[in-house]
Amino acid sequence: MYTPIRSILKVPQCKRLMLLAGEEGLDRRVSWARAVEKAVGNENIFKGELVFITGAGKDDEMVLVKDTLQMLEHNKAAGLVINTGMDAGRNSGEILQLADALRFPLLQIPKEENTLEVIQAVCKKILDDKRRADSMTELMKALMFGEPSEYLADMAAFFGYRTKWTYYGVVVDIDHFKDYLDREQISGEEEIAKVKWNVMRILEDAMLRYNKKILYLVDSASFLLMIPVAGKGEQGEAEIRWLGQELCRAVAEKIPGMTVCVGIGNPCFRLEDFKRSLLGARM
C-alpha cells in the first residue's frame, strides 16, 4: 500500500493546505514527512518524503525555492510545503511554472496552522494506511488459503463485512499490463507496485461512491474483491454487473491508456464461501 499526496489532503489537519502548482503529481507516494529550515544543500532528504520548509519567506528565499524544487525532484521526494509568507516576490510565477513542468506538488500552509501537528497527522496517515493494507492482505489470504475462525470473522467485521449482506467475488485484471508498462516506460518493482496500488485506490474509491465497503487483495496484476450488494437473486446479479461496469469505467477515466476486465463469481452468504466465489470469478 502507498499513500499519495491526494489522500494526504483529505486528512482533517491537512485540509487547509493549498495546492499552488504541480497538480499532475498528486499521486506521488508519500513515505514520510519532515520539516527543514532550508532544503537546499540538505542531502538527507529521501525518496517519497513530503518536505515542509519553515523559512521566514523573504523574497531572496523564493530564489532558493526554485533550486529546492529541482533538488527534491532529483531526490524523488513527494512534494514541497512552504508557508504563507513565501508566495510574494518576482520569482513566484517562474517557480509555479517549474513545479507544473516537473509535475511536482508545491503546497502552502497557512501561518496560523501548527506545522508540527500537520506533520504528525501526515505520518499517522501513512502508518495507518500501511497497517490497514497489511491487515486486509492477512485477512484475504487467510480466507483464500486458511480456515475460517472467530478471529477472521472479527477482522472482516472491522473492515465492514456484514453477515446480512450478499457478497460477490470479483476479479479485476489489467488488460495487457506488460504492454502498458512498456508503453509508459515504467519499470522497477517499486514503480510497478505504485501503479497497482493506484488502481486499487481507484477501485476502492469507485465502490465507496456507492457506499460499498469492499474486501480486497492485490495479487500480481489482478485485484480480488468481495463486493456487497443490496438485492438478492436477479436483482443482486444485475447490481453486481452494473458495479463491475463502474469499476471498468473508473479505471479508464482515471488512468488514460489503461483498461481492465472484470470476472464475477457466484453469490456467497458466509465467509467460508469467499474462496469459492473468487475462484469462480477467475475462471
- The predicted pLDDT at position 43 comes to 64
Query: For cell 517519497, what's the residue?
Result: 48
Cell reading at 214: 469492499
Whether 29 and 78 have beta carbons less than 8 Å apart is answered as: yes
DSSP state of 89: S
pLDDT at 245 over 80: yes
Query: For cell 467485521, what's the residue?
Result: 157
- The predicted pLDDT at position 58 comes to 52
This model's pTM is above 0.95: no
Considering all CA atoms of the chain, what is the largest pairwise distance in Å, rounded to the nearest integer?
68
The helix (H) or strand (E) run that includes residue 58 is none
Q: What is the pLDDT of residues 55-98, one digit of tens each?
A: 644 545 566 677 888 889 989 999 999 887 655 444 578 889 99
- The predicted pLDDT at position 3 comes to 92
Rounded to whole angstroms, how far apart are CA atoms 270 and 153? 10
Helix (H, G, I), strand (E, B) or coil at 196: helix
- The predicted pLDDT at position 44 comes to 79
Nearest CA among 81, 105, 100 for reference residue 16: 81
- The predicted pLDDT at position 94 comes to 85
pLDDT-based confidence at residue 130 (cuts at 50, 70, 90): very high
Whether 118 and 13 have beta carbons less than 8 Å apart is answered as: yes
- The letter for the amino acid at 38 is K
Nearest CA among 49, 29, 48, 73 for reference residue 195: 29
Nearest CA among 211, 247, 208, 205 for reference residue 230: 211
Q: What is the mean pLDDT of residues 13-40?
A: 90
Q: What is the pLDDT of residues 264-278, one digit of tens each?
A: 999 999 999 999 999
